[in-house]
A = this chain, B = another copy of it.
Amino acid sequence: MSKGLPARQDMEKERETLQAWKERVGQELDRVVAFWMEHSHDQEHGGFFTCLGREGRVYDDLKYVWLQGRQVWMYCRLYRTFERFRHAQLLDAAKAGGEFLLRYARVAPPGKKCAFVLTRDGRPVKVQRTIFSECFYTMAMNELWRATGEVRYQTEAVEMMDQIVHWVQEDASGLGRPQLQGAPAAEPMAVPMMLLNLVEQLGEADEELAGKYAELGDWCARRILQHVQRDGQAVLENVSEGGHTLEAGWFLLRHCIRKGDPELRAHVVDKFLLLPFHSGWDPDHGGLFYFQDADNFCPTQLEWAMKLWWPHSEAMIAFLMGYSDSGDPVLLRLFYQVAEYTFRQFRDPEYGEWFGYLSREGKVALSIKGGPFKGCFHVPRCLAMCEEMLGALLSRPAPAPTPACRGAE
C-alpha cells in the first residue's frame, strides 16, 4: 500500500493533465469554428471563401475545390458527432457548399473530372491532372448523406469513388496526364493515403461498402508501406514530408485497429510516428521541419525549413491515437510536446484560427489564416479528433495500479 500511493497520485496527475488538454482543445475548437462561420460563408453563391487574412477579411474570392469539399466534410462531421455543433446554421452552410460542388465542381458533366479552382460563381479556372479534387468531393458527399439522410448525396459519393478507383487501378488516361516513359513506376504516396482515407470514410458503420472496399484498403496499406521502405524506384519520393508520413501513420493505425493487426501496428508506430518525429523535430527551435531528405541532402523545396501548421496538427492526432491504442507513455509525452509547441506558436489569440506558416525560428512568415491550401480542415479536424480521443481516454476505468515499477520511479 505504501508503494501504491505515489502510483495512484501519478495517475491522478496524469488524468488532470488529460482533462486540462481536453478543455483547452475543446475551447480552441469552438473558437476556430466560430472564425470560419463568421468569415467564410458566401451567402450569395453558396460555398466558402477560404482566402482569408489574419483578421478574417477575404483577400481573394476564388474557390478551391479541395477546400470546399473539406469544409463541407468538416461541418457535417461536427454536426453529426458533437452535440454542441448540432445546429441548423452549420448544416445549412454545409448543404449550400455541397450544392455548389454538385453544380459546379465537374468541368464537363456528366464527366467526373473536377476543377482544382473555380471563380466565386463557379466557373472553372484550373484543372489538375490528379484525383484529389474528386477525393474531397467524395468525402463531402458521403458526410452530407450521413448528416442529412438524403440518398442523392451518397449516390454521388459512391459513383465518384468508383471513378477514382478506376483512374488509379485501371486506366488513368481520363485524368489527362500523358503516359511518359521516364515517369516513376510508383504513384506518389499521397494517392494510396487519400484512397485509404476514403475507404475508411465510406466504410464507417456501413458493412456493405466496408466489404466492397476491403481489398482496396489492403492495397493502399501495402503501397504506403512500400514507400517508406524505399522498395520502389520512386526516386522522386526520396524527399519525404514528415507531416505526410505522420498523417499516413494515423491512417494506417486506424487500418490496423480495423484489421486487428498488432504486429503491423508496432511497425507503423516505429516508422510512421517515431522516425519522422526524431528526424523531423528541430532541436534548436522546436517544431517539425516541413521536408526532410532521406539521404540528408538539402531539399530543393524552398519551405523545407519552415514550420507549417498541418504537420503539427497531424502529429498531434498521430501521437494521441498511438497512445490511445497502445498505452505507450512515450507517445503521450510526444503528444504533449507537439501540442505545447503548436498551441504556443500557431494559435492567434487575437483574431482566432491558427497561422499556417512560420519561419524556422517560429516567427509568423505569412499572416494569412486561409489560402489556396489552408482552409477549414486540418485545424478543426485535429481539435475534434483530439477532443474525442481525450474524452475516451478519460472515460476509461482507471486500471489497477502497478505498484512496483511506477512507484519506484
Contact = CB atoms under 8 A, between A and B. Distances in A.
Interface of A: 51, 53-54, 59-60, 62, 107, 115, 118-119, 122-127, 176, 178, 180-184, 235-236, 295, 297-300, 302-306, 357, 359-360, 365-368, 371-372
Contact of A178 (B107, B295, B371): B107
Contacts of A304: 366
Contacts of A372: 300
Given A302-B302, A302-B306, A372-B300, A180 B125 contact: yes
B115 A180 contact: yes
A127 B178 contact: yes
17 contacts: A53-B298, A59-B295, A107-B178, A122-B182, A123-B180, A123-B182, A124-B180, A125-B183, A125-B236, A126-B180, A176-B176, A176-B178, A298-B367, A302-B302, A302-B303, A302-B366, A305-B365
Nearest to A363: B360
A126 B181 CA distance: 10
A299 B305 CA distance: 19
B51 A181 contact: no
A108 to B, nearest CB: 8
Contact of A300 (B54, B118, B127, B368): B368
Contact of A60 (B60, B126, B182, B235): B235
A185 to B, nearest CB: 12
A51 to B, nearest CB: 7
A227 B97 CA distance: 34
Given A123-B182, A176-B178, A300-B366, 4 more contacts: A59-B298, A123-B181, A303-B303, A304-B366
